[in-house]
Structure 1
């Protein structure tokens, strides 16, 4: 998964929004617990923001150059699908640079 080290090259900021207790955010919480450390180690200067808010639907947001943002809803996705969504956001950032 070489793309994991490319986050800081394709985006300026990564935000993960989730609820601390809701079942719809359980996969997102698991994703953060299992992947945050590796993502931060591979991209030490990239702001990876975890935003917790009661009752919010889980979402993944990427901010690219020139203030362009793209978001993906994570409700109902499992960890593998969340990983794929993050990979898609990295690829979208690479496409914007061309």
Structure 2
């Protein structure tokens, strides 16, 4: 998997160019986000588990209905994923 900062940048870039993405590409990015958040959450002991679980559910639902998302909803969902990954990365950095 690409480095976390590179993946965050990829999500933000995709959100800013949402009209160029297919539903499949959006779904793939959201699925990668779910996997990344799960892995990072396991390594971050003080994360709010309920909030992380809610975000994961929202991302999974958005991924499964990517073809039905408006461009604005798709953009916002990709940015939410990037924000969550960034927050987890900050929490992990605080542990060191």
TM-score under structure 1 length normalisation: 0.37
More strand by share: 1
More helix by share: 2
